[in-house]
Structure 1
Amino acid sequence: MSDQPLLEVSNLRVAFPTRQGVTEAVRGVSFTLGREKLGIVGESGSGKSMTGRSILRLVPPPGIVTADRLAFRGEDLRDASEKRLRAIRGSGIAMVMQDPKFSLNPVMTVGRQIAEAYRVHSKASAREAKRRALEMLEAVRIRDPERVYDRYPHEVSGGMGQRIMIAMMLIPNPDLLIADEPTSALDVTVQMQILAILDDLCGQRGMGMIFVSHDLNLVASFCDRILIMYAGRVVESCPASELRDARHPYTRGLLDSLPRLDDPRRDLPVLTRDPAWLTDDAPPEKAR
């Protein structure tokens, strides 16, 4: 495989004009990604999902995406035409959304939707597309793919719906998968099953992955590298194995907020300054 990164992001910004002025949801995010699993962690509103959407140019209007560099496999995506972006979405970069109920078409069977995703990016016949869809349902460990193929989205559970979404996104064989909180609505047992599927598929296909989540423990155990986001910025980047040694006060606050069985009644850490401290030179004060 080439040594060139799959994805290069430099000074990525996402701005929304409002009556009060321009609000930046993503502010100067930079990173590179190879064929590895990159976790992005932060609280709600920190810009995690918006970062993923901006890579695929899926930011809803009137959002404006700018970057010094935004390249996939060396190709600049900043000025790519809509036709070229449609070709890249799915076959090059795929994105699994948070809740399959809002991503699947309620009036189409799940099998037909998976097969259609394959035919959009290939010249396959309907028969070949169905065969590949059944293979993908089996790859994501769905029992009796023939039966599930003819079901509608409301007839499957949340965990099965998420597996179906993964099958649909991976059937064009992309090089990069962006998973936007794919396990947040699932119980712990199903979460582990979904992560095991993603891990196996990434290893088998040599894909890169951006895994967006609130769960710091989950990301630390699953990903190779971690970005911590706060108020639209990356405040810390480190290998997952070195997360416990993180030095940024916000990252330390997240780590200290994790539940502990040996001290369930301890006071949680509090950052005593608002997000404006990111523009200051001094770090935030930390109180208990």
Structure 2
Amino acid sequence: MNATDPLLTVEDLNVRFPTRQGVIEAVRGTSFSVGRERVGIVGESGSGKSMTGRAILRLVRPPGEVSARRIDFMGEDLLSLSEREMRRIRGHRISMVMQDPKFSLNPVIRVGEQISEAYRLHTRASRRAARQKTLEMLEAVQIRDPERVYQTFPHEVSGGMGQRIMIAMMLIPDPDLLIADEPTSALDVTVQMRVLAILDKLVQERGMGLIFISHDLNLVSSFCDRVIIMYGGRIVETCRAAELDKAEHPYTRGLLAALPRLDQPQARLDVLERDPAWLKEQSVVAHV
């Protein structure tokens, strides 16, 4: 596969939840592609960005309904695969770091054993080989004294270390694509930068694609190659991160204007007096 070819192509993705008040459309007609690059998906809470990541891996639980014209991953349509075939891809060829990853760990199993289990599940490696690979992966995400951390329980590690442990677990099968859902949330700036540096290094060394989901436009624009802006379940704008200051959509411009600056009074995000149907008509997709 050429480095410029898309790893993932999503066409007309929709996620719906039936309720007593009617159907809630969490994701509406979303289309995008990801190559061996860093693509950021940004939007406020409820914009559909996390649900998009879950839908790609078919992790939306009933009564949620996922439909799409196509979710193509390296030539395979993920929607047409059986659950058994999806398990071959999920966590192996495509991995996902969930929000608050530390709390995704099993609290009664040692950290190292959980990472080793993830590796053995997809590779059939021996316990000894899996343990050695786990120690190497913990070192790769810049955890000091991997032997000690291997023996710890999740409640014994800090938030920043918990993030790195989950990143190690998701990367140990050597996936082609990593979906990171708010991997730096609730971390201080120093730890954030450390986690981003680890992700950047691993993406470059492994040549994998990264979908970086966040509500922090400033962070994504400085870290990613491309930025996708979501609002009301729709993609309203796509552009190169370096050209974000030239954004055309009123929602994106509002987000940029609301970023805090030391040399200006605190800004506020103006309310868009329109519904998402109007936003679809105003959507801007830059040719990148």
**TM-score between both structures, scaled by the size of structure 2:** 0.95
Number of the residue aligned with 1:68: 69
Identify unmatched segments of 5+ residues in structure 2.
Answer: 284-288
Structure 2 partner of 1:273: 273
Following TM superposition, the consecutive aligned residue runs of length 4 or more in structure 1 with deviations greater than 3 angstroms are 274-277, 279-283
Name 1:118's counterpart in structure 2.
119
Quote how far apart the aligned CAs of 1:158 are.
0.2
Residue 190 of structure 1: aligned partner: 191
Give the aligned length.
Answer: 282
Aligned partners of 1:203 and 1:180: how far apart in 2? Answer: 19
Equivalents in 2 of 1:140, 1:223: separation in Å?
A: 19
Partner of 2:171: 170
Cα shift readout 1:129-174 (whole Å, capped 9, x = no counterpart): 0000000000000000000000000000000000000000000000
How far apart, in 1, do the equivalents of 2:170 and 2:188 lie?
A: 22
- Check the 8 A contact 1:12/1:26 in 2, yes or no: yes
Using the alignment, how far apart are the partners of 2:17 and 2:67 within structure 1?
A: 12
CA distance change for structure 1 residues 137 and 282 in 2, over 3 Å: closer, same or farther?
closer
1:142 aligns with 2:137: no
**Which residue of structure 1 aligns with residue 286 of structure 2?**
none
CA 269–106 in structure 1, closer or farther in 2 if over 3 Å, else same:
closer
Compared CA separation, residues 282 and 241, structure 1 to 2 (3 A): closer
1:230 corresponding residue in structure 2: 231
Which residue is 2:130 aligned to?
129
CA contact (8 A) 1:110 1:152 kept: yes
Match for 2:237: what amino acid? E
CA distance in 1, matches of 2:123, 2:67: 31
Shift in CA distance, 172/264, structure 1 to aligned 2, threshold 3 Å: same
Q: Return the letter of the residue paired with 2:278.
A: L
Residue 183 of structure 1 aligns to a residue in which SS?
A: coil
Contact 1:4 1:73 in 2 (8 A): no
Displacement of 1:200 = 0.2
For 1:262 and 1:274, locate their aligned partners in 2 and report how far apart those are by CA, in whole Å. Answer: 31
* Contact 2:236-2:282 at 8 Å conserved across structures: no
| Partners of 1:243 and 1:41 in 2: CA distance | 12
Distance 1:159 1:132 in 2: 21
Distance 1:4 1:37 in 2: 14
C-alpha distance in 2 between matches for 1:121 and 1:22: 38
User: Following TM superposition, by how much is the alpha carbon of 1:274 offset from its aligned partner in structure 2, in angstroms?
Assistant: 4.4
The one-letter code matched in structure 1 to 2:105 is L
Q: What is the deviation of 1:91?
A: 1.3
* Cross-structure match for 1:15: 16
Determine the structure 2 residue equivalent to 1:56.
57
Per-residue CA deviation, residues 159-210 of structure 1 (Å, 9 max, x unaligned), is 0000000000000000000000000110000000000000000000000000
Alpha-carbon distance between aligned partners in 2 of 1:280 and 1:96, rounded to the nearest angstrom? 29
> Equivalent pairs: percent with the same residue?
68
RMSD: 1.4
CA distance in 2, matches of 1:225, 1:142: 29
Distance 2:133 2:45 in 1: 37
Matched, 1:250 2:251: yes
TM-score between the two structures when normalised by the length of structure 1:
0.95
Structure 1, unpaired ranges of 5+: 284-288
